[in-house]
Structure 1
Amino acid sequence: MTAPHRPHPHPHPRQSWLRAARHLRARLRGWGGVGAMATACAVALVLALLLTCTTSPSPTATRPAGQSLSPAAQTEAQADEECTAPEKQTLPPSDADGPTIEAIKSREGEKRKLIVGVDQNSYRWGYRNPNSGESGTLEGFDIDLVHRIAEDILGDPNAVQFKAIPTDQRIPAIEDGRVDMVVRTMTINCARVQDVAFSAPYFRTGQQVLAPKSSPVEGYDETLADRRICTAAGSTAYARLAEDKETGRLPESADLRTTVPNQLDCLVRLQLGEVDAVVTDGALAASQAAQDPTVQLKGEAFTTEYYGVAMRKDADDLVRRVNRILVDFREDTADGWQASYTRWLSATLGDDPSRSEPPAPEYLRKS
């Protein structure tokens, strides 16, 4: 078994190199399509100097063989046993303003904006276009949905304050009141519905393996034995892999110790040869494969998952309003879900959106 990469200690905190790395990525030109390989490699070289001097595998992500599931994985496993169809645990649509929406509308001046947690590194979902100015404009499928929500609530699609939120900070950002909502390829699952409220699903996907084209890895199977697998901290991918390793579906020798704050960092680790495979949502993995033509999706998706807009548990009026907006977004054939899919995702997921369309919404949450 190949020993996992063990970075050297560095006196600066983890957040410093993350901010520097994101700033560098935002300024690089030409980040798009298959031709982005040169840019991706440039990013990899920059991050190599940073990554090799800083982070080590997350202590919470390291679980020696034979040890019980991590607390996060235990929580998710227990929640899964106690609930079914979490994507249906949401409230019926409504146009009514309530206390949450009124508080948003009462913000004055430049602060009269919808505050939304998003990603800025997920190509075609939420990413900065380096060709759109000094700081780069946020674009992508999730960003289109945010503009749609802001237009409905505040009458201005650009009345948005975007906050870049790492994967493992999505729920804390909502609970702490740093954001009104999170629109960040966030999977609805049983563990998360205990902490936040979700809208009805707006996208369907599933976990999938990403690896170099030359790799002997064939998919989510025994070929992952003795392989170093990267996941985002706090992601459904890590919780699923930890559980499957415990139950024997994933080979015991699979190394899950490499976790990163943002999913794009897994692609960089893969490019640097620090890991052998990445596991993430197939929709995100397809975009990463579009950024780097030397990697590809391996095998089929091994789960079915749905993205939803996440909000505070007590923000009932906002949940109902977002659900009404989603109904309109789906029905709008000119400038809605289909148009956004065609613009951002057809190049990576195919022209036929049927596999990505969410199911007809059901609103089973009582309060």
Structure 2
Amino acid sequence: MKGGMAMTARRLRASLKGWGGVGAMALALVVTAVFALLLPLSSARGDGSTGTGGQGVGQGIQARADTCTDPQDQSPSPSSDDSGETITAIKQRGYLSVGVDQNSYRWGYRDPNNTAKSSDLEGFDIDLAHEIAKEILGDPSAVRFHAIPTNQRIPAIKSGQVDMVVRTMTITCSRLKDVAFSAPYFLTGQQVLAPKTSGIKGYDETLAGKRICSAAGSTAYDKLSADKKAGALTASADITTTVPNQLDCLVRLQLGQVDAVVTDGALAASQAAQDPTVELKGKTFTDDYYGVAMKLGADDLVRRVNQVLVDYRKSGGWQASYTKWLSATLKADSPSATPPTAHYK
């Protein structure tokens, strides 16, 4: 296994040769993805323990997915009440356990060029996790991070490994069967990422005969699969390449093992910023909303997180984080540049 990883790293170095600082960052991030995706993380200010999520469960269940039409509007109303069973268990433990990504540039990652803070996770999702810890526990550093691959987000919540997942996770009706979601905190949509030299124009007939990569368990794969069955995606498009973690698709693309990647446009924009040889192709072709995912039945925690989101928007914290991390790639005039309006069930 180590030999295969080493070979992958050598191929990446060859493919990135001559890219300078941007290429070095891309190489560092994708090699990190190959070597460390499954390693548990702790906050740089924590004690290094992997920790476990709280087991307390509050009363109340989110709307059943079989009655769901607008999944982003199915979360309960905000509350500042900290007396619920789930929140009480978190307070007694003294820290928040959060599943995150450690390889998504500007969302949740370690900057290899920032030697002063090389051990710290940073990015838009990381800012939000710290904000939740600050409001619930009074200390933004009272959080322990766990690296969760894309296809393990729901299992990590259901098993109690983490209290919540803050990891570019789209709210969907099918996922509401397994986890509870906060109100949406970000608007994006599915988009195609491909080499600049490619003839691919977007999510259209130019994908004919092309190998498309997506993450297992992702909304991108669900969309590809559904469109393939319905005939909305060209029949000759090959969607069989799936990976545990979304960033692995960028690795496959750089190695020439696939022709295109389909993922959230916000993530794709950050990947395009890492790799100067790829670009977004066409416009987004869905409307997707990211939410904080939590355990079904933990209604007290869901309501409390919704209040955090309300406060985060009002204080300007959301906008400041967007400006810092995402404005350079998504631009100030993007539909994603303002937080989505929350509607509650």
Amino acid at match of 2:68: C
Q: What SS does the corresponding residue of 2:271 show, helix, strand or coil?
A: helix
Shift of 1:257: 1.3
The residue identity in structure 1 corresponding to 2:106 is R
Q: Match of 1:361?
A: 342
1:320 paired to 2:303: yes
Match of 1:105 in 2: 91
Q: After the TM superposition, which residues 171-250 of structure 1 pair with which residues of structure 2 at under 5 Å, given as runs?
A: 171-250=154-233
Query: Which residue of 1 is the match for residue 329 of structure 2?
Result: 348
Q: Which runs of 4+ in 1 moved over 6 A?
A: 42-48
Query: 1:299 & 1:360 partners in 2: Cα distance?
Result: 26
Contact 1:34 1:292 in 2 (8 A): no
Hey, what's the Cα distance between the residues in 2 that align with 1:34 and 1:321? 45
The DSSP-based 3-state class of the residue aligned with 2:321 is helix
TM-score by length of 2: 0.83
Structure 1 position 167 matched with structure 2 position 150: yes
Stretches of structure 2 lacking an aligned partner (at least 5 in a row): 13-18, 36-63
- The amino acid across from 1:84 in the alignment is T
Aligned equivalents of 1:352, 1:46: Cα separation in 2: 32
TM-score, scaled to structure 1: 0.78
Aligned-residue sequence identity (percent) comes to 65
| AA partner of residue 362 (structure 1) | H
Distance 1:46 1:167, change over 3 A: closer
Aligned equivalents of 2:30, 2:99: Cα separation in 1 = 26
Using a 3 Å threshold, how does the CA distance of structure 1 residues 243 and 152 change in structure 2: closer, same or farther? same
Equivalent of 2:315 in 307, 313, 332: 332
Per the TM alignment, residue 332 of structure 1 is displaced from its structure 2 partner at its CA by 1.1
1:35–1:291 Cα contact (<8 Å) kept: no
In 1, are the aligned partners of 2:203 and 2:282 still within 8 Å (CA)?
yes
Q: What is the CA deviation profile of residues 175-202 of structure 1, one whole-angstrom value per residue up to 9, with x for unaligned ones?
A: 0000000000000001001111100000
1:154 maps to which residue?
Answer: 137
Q: Which residue of 1 aligns with 2:48?
A: none
Deviation at 1:39, TM superposition (A): 4.0
**2:262 is aligned with 1:279:** yes
2:22 corresponds in structure 1 to 36
Q: Does the aligned pair in 1 maintain the 2:33–2:248 contact within 8 Å?
A: no
1:139 partner SS: coil
AA of the residue aligned to 1:360: T
Distance 1:179 1:268, change over 3 A: same
CA distance in 2 between counterparts of 1:265 and 1:117 reads 18
C-alpha RMSD of the superposition: 2.8
- Whether the 8 Å CA contact 2:29–2:103 is kept in 1: the answer is no
* 1:121 aligns to 2:103 (yes or no): yes
C-alpha distance in 2 between matches for 1:332 and 1:34? 38
Gaps of 5+ in 1: 1-9, 26-32, 51-78
Distance 1:201 1:44 in 2: 28
Q: Please give the alpha-carbon distance, in whole angstroms, between the structure 1 residues aligned to 2:29 and 2:109.
A: 15
Quote the residue 2:245 is aligned against. Answer: 262
Q: How far is 1:277 from its partner?
A: 0.2
Q: CA–CA distance in 2 between the matches of 1:80 and 1:96?
A: 26
Q: Are the structure 2 counterparts of residues 183 and 34 from structure 1 closer, same or farther at C-alpha, using a change threshold of 3 Å?
A: farther
Q: 1:87 aligns with which of 57, 72, 76?
A: 72
Q: Count the aligned residue pairs.
A: 307
3-state SS of the aligned residue for 1:266?
helix
Q: How far is the alpha carbon of 1:272 from its aligned partner?
A: 0.6
Kindly state the Cα deviation for residue 362 of structure 1 after the two structures are TM-superposed.
Answer: 1.1
1:208-252 CA-partner distances (Å, limit 9, x unpaired): 000000000000001101100010111000011011011111111
